[in-house]
Amino acid sequence: MAGEISFFELGVGDFEAARTFYSGLFGWIFEPGPTEGGGYAISTPNVPGGVHGGDPGAGPYLFFRVDDMKAALERVRELGGTVDDFDAGDDDETVARFGRFKLCHDDQGSPFGLHEPPAA
């Protein structure tokens, strides 16, 4: 587990409005996301990201890179953290394009995410 930030996700009420705002502010490039519900993949100069709608007022989700998702999830639980049951898109297309994602909480309840990048 390297632990560097490898992906971010913005939860917003309206992903089209977020696209307009963030592309205007930062010049980020948005491409359609892999799910039928919409959203976008975001290309930035440093860390790739995504934006999804239906989540008004949410803070940004930060995902830390891991090399082995199964081992990382076991370690989270061993250390007293929890792993959410939320479906973060483990279908073949999403995994091939973006990798695997899991939402977790540390032993004090603070949220964070784990990201296993797609195979090269």
Structural domains of the chain ordered from first start: 5-116 (3.10.180.10)
pLDDT of residue 87: 67
pTM above 0.85, yes or no: no
pLDDT at 48 over 80: yes
- Parallel, antiparallel, or unpaired: how do β-strands 49-52 and 40-43 relate? antiparallel
d(CA 45, CA 32): 18
pLDDT band, residue 89 (cuts 50/70/90): low
pLDDT in tens, 59-87: 888 999 999 999 999 999 999 999 999 76
d(CA 118, CA 120): 6
**Type of residue numbered 67:** D
Closest to 104 measured CA to CA, from 50, 49, 62, 53:
62
pLDDT at 1 over 70: no
